[in-house]
């Protein structure tokens, strides 16, 4: 009686597992866990930043000035801030959506005062 009760508990709660055959020659392709997000990466180009995820292009961000100096991902990689400049004059700091590439805001680097706006404070001159 005791054994049948334990067997019923094991089976009903899924504790009983069937091991894979040891002599199986099949190699299973290791798949990425869909619940773990793949990190976005960026590649600087002339007047643009290309954003990729897992080796696939997500979007291309077109900057207001031709020389991209630096970039930073923000808010769990949902936004990207890009600092670009021309041959002379002040640098431009732009805020983009990191998945669509849509421009959300921009400001000249010289106009960033007292850490405002917050998204551009790292790029102040």
Using DSSP bridges, classify how beta strands 48-53 and 67-74 pair: parallel, antiparallel or unpaired: unpaired
Q: The domain 63-125: what is its CATH number?
A: 3.10.450
Residues 6+ apart with CB under 8 A from 41: 51, 52, 53
Tokens representing 34 are 């869909």
| Cβ-based neighbour number of residue 104 at 10 Å | 13
Nearest alpha carbon to residue 72 among 104, 115, 40:
40
At 38-73, the pLDDT tens digits run 799 999 999 999 999 989 999 999 999 999 999 999
pTM exceeds 0.75: no
Nearest alpha carbon to residue 80 among 72, 88, 91:
72
Q: How much of the chain exceeds pLDDT 90, in percent?
A: 56
Q: Kindly give the parts of the chain with pLDDT less than 50.
A: 6, 9-11, 13-19, 21-25, 28-30
87 secondary structure, DSSP code: S
Task: Kindly list the domain boundaries of the chain, sorted by start residue.
Answer: 63-125
């Amino acid at each position: 009686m005791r054994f049948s009760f334990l067997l019923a508990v094991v089976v009903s709660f899924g504790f009983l597992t069937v091991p894979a055959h040891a002599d199986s020659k099949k190699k299973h392709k290791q798949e990425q866990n869909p619940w773990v997000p793949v990190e976005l990466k960026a590649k600087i180009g002339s007047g643009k930043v290309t954003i990729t995820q897992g080796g696939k292009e997500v979007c291309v961000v077109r900057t207001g000035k031709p020389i991209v100096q630096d970039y930073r991902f923000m808010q769990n990689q949902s936004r990207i801030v890009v600092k670009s400049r021309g041959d002379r004059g002040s640098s431009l700091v732009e805020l983009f959506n990191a998945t669509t590439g849509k421009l959300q805001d921009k400001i000249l680097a010289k106009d960033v005062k007292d850490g405002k706006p917050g998204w551009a404070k790292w790029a102040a001159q």
